[in-house]
């Protein structure tokens, strides 16, 4: 653990897993959607459902969807802020199979994009993105992360990695996920260095790429 995970983080309480982790999940989801969240259907599973109201997990997740950081003092008022900004949301409990006790499933809608995301809060504010648009994934969103949705065809991975190599960006981890052969695939690449905006733009235009998002 890094030194400032021990002395820190600075966060709105009461719980690093149920509050700070939930803010991070909301914020990463907002970034993955790539635009302002207009509608959110939110389902809490396990401990999130049982103790979420007392831990402010509900306020925390909405705060994250509004792009707030874990130390934003407006987190307790996030629901009022969301309503004032015209965000429509519902929060309810769900029982998911084989999910971590602190899991949330969300259906998000923006002006032009939609996202289904399932994520869990692992403790100490660390999170895991467990599925995107129904495809199982597993990443922490702690590194610069490139997420590419593409048609499951030969050559896409090589194309993307060579684009990154051209810009001298070192890939820390790379994972591929797909629903079925020849169907829809998601590639998640965590890099040591930030990825320039033009690469994302270039990728989005490439043939067979459905969408590309970037977290930093």
Partner 1 sequence: MAFESIKELMALHNKTGKEVWQLIMEEDAHDRNTTPENSFEKMGAMWTAMKASSDNYDPSLRSSAGLSGGDGERIRQYKKKCISGEFMGEVIAEAISMAESNACMRCVVAAPTAGSCGVIPAVLIPYVRKHNTPEDKIIKGLFTSAGFGQIIAKRAFIAGASGGCQAEIGSASAMAAAMLVYLQGGSAEQSASALAFALKSLLGLVCDPVAGLVEVPCVKRNVIGAVNAITSADMALAGIETMIPPDEVIDAMREVGLAMPSSLRETGLGGLAATPTGVNIAKNMPRLGSYN
- What does the binding site for partner 1 look like in residue numbers (CB under 8 A)? 1-17, 19-20, 44, 47, 49-56, 58-59, 71, 73, 75-76, 79, 90-93, 123-125
CB nearer partner 1, residue 86 or residue 182: 86
In angstroms, give the least distance from the CB of 139 to partner 1: 20
* Smallest separation, CB 128 to partner 1 (Å): 15
Residue recorded with tokens 């002006």? 111
3-state class (DSSP) for residue 210: strand
Which one, 89 or 214, has the nearer CB to partner 1? 89
Nearer to partner 1, 71 or 153 (CB): 71
Closest Cα partner for 22 from 93, 105, 88, 134? 105
Q: What is the Cα gyration radius of the chain?
A: 17
**Helix, strand, or coil here: 62?**
helix
Question: Do 141 and 158 touch, CB atoms closer than 8 A?
Answer: no
In angstroms, what is the minimal distance from the CB of 22 to partner 1?
A: 12
Q: Looking at beta carbons only, is 83 or 167 nearer to partner 1? A: 83
> 148 in the Ramachandran plot: left (φ > 0), alpha (ψ -120 to 50) or beta?
beta
Distance between CA 111 and CA 155 in Å, rounded?
32
**Cβ at position 192, least distance to partner 1 in Å:** 9
Choose between 61 and 117: whose C-beta lies nearer to partner 1.
61
């Amino acid at each position: 653990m890094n030194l400032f995970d021990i002395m820190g983080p600075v966060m709105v309480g009461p719980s690093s897993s149920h509050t700070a982790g939930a803010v991070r999940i909301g914020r990463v989801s907002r970034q993955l959607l790539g635009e302002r969240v207009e509608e959110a259907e939110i389902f809490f599973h396990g401990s999130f459902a049982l103790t979420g109201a007392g831990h402010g997990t509900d306020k925390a997740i909405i705060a994250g969807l509004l792009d707030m950081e874990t130390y934003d003092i407006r987190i307790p008022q996030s629901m009022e802020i969301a309503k004032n900004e015209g965000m429509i949301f519902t929060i309810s409990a769900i029982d998911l199979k084989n999910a971590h006790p602190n899991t949330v499933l969300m259906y998000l809608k923006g002006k032009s994009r939609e996202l289904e995301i399932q994520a869990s809060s692992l403790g100490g504010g660390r999170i895991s993105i467990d599925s995107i648009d129904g495809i199982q994934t597993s990443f922490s969103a702690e590194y610069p992360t490139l997420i590419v949705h593409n048609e499951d065809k030969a050559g896409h991975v090589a194309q993307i990695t060579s684009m990154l190599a051209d810009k001298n960006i070192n890939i820390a981890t790379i994972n591929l996920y797909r629903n079925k052969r020849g169907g829809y695939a998601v590639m998640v690449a965590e890099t040591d260095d930030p990825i320039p905006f033009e690469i994302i733009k270039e990728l989005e235009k490439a043939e067979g790429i459905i969408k590309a998002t970037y977290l930093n």
